[in-house]
Structure 1
Amino acid sequence: MDGSTTPVPVTLEQMLAAREERVRSQQAALAAHGLPLLSLTLVAPGPVKDSAALREVFCVALERLEALCREHGWRIAACRAWRQVTGCEALLAIDADAVQLKRAAVALEDTHALGRLWDLDVLGPDGRSLSRTALGLAPRRCLVCDEAAHACARSRAHPLEQLQAAMARLLENHRHAAVC
């Protein structure tokens, strides 16, 4: 993809194709490394999945994930990041216990100023995704109202403009905190 900053809306078909490609990449990484995988995507309601602001959120997430691995003494065996019209993505093969990795990822999502905009999925070496609920952890919270995100998304409880405004506030709060 070029360095264009003009927001481009994506179609459902493009998003589904990106998801299929992500699964293929995950399967290849599992076969190559035999380690738990951390898949990073962004929460980006609406038709635009790639923008300068979203790339900024993505870079902060990658930096924080690398720091997390250093803090825990986990080796990143492989890291592949890419950007396309459907958004930024990264796949990390990490030499760590998958459950500990998922717990740490959830803690990042729940505590970092931008964490609600990160979707950190962990797959065990067997390829199975570890869910928050399977680990007895609370579901992701909505960007707007703090209810379970999946319930609000399914019922379309909030207009797109309200979700995008909440995203913008999170990014602005993060930028402000970084300067102060």
Structure 2
Amino acid sequence: MNDIFQKGIEVNIPEVLNNRDKRVAIQEKLVNANPTKTIIGAKLNIPGPIKNNTEIEYFFEQEMAFFEQKLNEKFSFQLFLSKLSQPTGPESFYIIDGSSQAVKKLCIDFEESKDYRRLFDLDVHNFGQNDLSRTDLGFPERQCLVCGKPAKECGRARTHTVADLQAKVSKLILEAISK
């Protein structure tokens, strides 16, 4: 199979936004309950109406297992919650003993270590601080998977079709799960 988006449950924008609100609520609850810890919310950036299926779940689990190995090398952490089979896409939440800057750097290193890991969105949260961005730590902003320009610019301008983005994402995920 060359296109992972041939199967899966389609979700609409209100469902995606509702899930985002739930994710933010979980992250806020974790931050407030763990004021001396750093929180990671992990998800994938998947274009189009199909956000999850067997291949996407497998990819997420496989790569998050690798991420957890790297996390464990530097920090003590707890996997708080992992939601894999939801139609809006897999997610995991971590509670970490470590500075938000050091955790964010590890997250960026992971995201940038392989082309297919660029699909991950690892958000770092801390009590009483704004969420850390890549640029806060001197890293460049995310690049578009298709053309390499800043991803936000391409997203705002809708430079690429959903089909083009899905073709690239499908290729990346199939590359990762075939190794």
TM-score by length of 2: 0.89
Shift of 1:113: 4.1
Shift of 1:62: 1.7
Asked whether the 8 Å contact 1:139–1:148 carries over to 2, the reply is yes
Give the Cα–Cα distance (whole angstroms) in 2 for the partners of residues 7 and 91 of structure 1: 23
Shift of 1:9: 1.2
Asked whether the 8 Å contact 2:58–2:177 carries over to 1, the reply is no
Asked whether the 8 Å contact 1:57–1:114 carries over to 2, the reply is no
Task: Pick the aligned partner of 2:57 from 46, 55, 58.
Answer: 55
Shift of 1:161: 1.2
Shift of 1:172: 2.7
Matched, 1:31 2:32: yes
Matched residue count: 172
Give the Cα–Cα distance (whole angstroms) in 1 for the partners of residues 120 and 50 of structure 2: 16
Shift of 1:6: 5.0
Shift of 1:28: 1.4
Counterparts of 1:16-165 in structure 2 under 5 Å?
Answer: 16-34=17-35, 35-72=37-74, 74-83=75-84, 84-126=86-128, 128-165=130-167
- Unaligned regions of 5+ residues in structure 1, if any? none
Shift of 1:33: 2.2
Q: Deviations over 1:27-59 (max 9, x none)?
A: 111122221111101010001111112112211
Q: Secondary structure at the match of 1:123?
A: strand
Q: Deviations over 1:143-177 (max 9, x none)?
A: 1111111111111111111111111221232244x
Letter in structure 2 aligned against 1:119: D
Give the Cα–Cα distance (whole angstroms) in 2 for the partners of residues 108 and 77 of structure 1: 18
Task: Sort the Cα spacing of 1:62 and 1:127 in 2 relative to 1 into closer, same or farther, 3 A.
Answer: farther
- Unaligned regions of 5+ residues in structure 2, if any? 1-5
Q: Which residue of 1 aligns with 2:11?
A: 10
Task: Sort the Cα spacing of 1:109 and 1:157 in 2 relative to 1 into closer, same or farther, 3 A.
Answer: same
Greater relative contact order, per chain length (Cα 8 Å cut-off, separation 6+): 2
Task: Sort the Cα spacing of 1:8 and 1:78 in 2 relative to 1 into closer, same or farther, 3 A.
Answer: closer
Alignment identity in percent? 28
Give the Cα–Cα distance (whole angstroms) in 2 for the partners of residues 127 and 62 of structure 1: 25
Task: Sort the Cα spacing of 1:112 and 1:126 in 2 relative to 1 into closer, same or farther, 3 A.
Answer: farther
Asked whether the 8 Å contact 1:27–1:127 carries over to 2, the reply is no
Shift of 1:92: 0.4
Give the Cα–Cα distance (whole angstroms) in 2 for the partners of residues 172 and 7 of structure 1: 16
Give the Cα–Cα distance (whole angstroms) in 2 for the partners of residues 90 and 39 of structure 1: 6
Give the Cα–Cα distance (whole angstroms) in 2 for the partners of residues 113 and 71 of structure 1: 22
- RMSD across aligned C-alpha pairs, in angstroms? 1.7
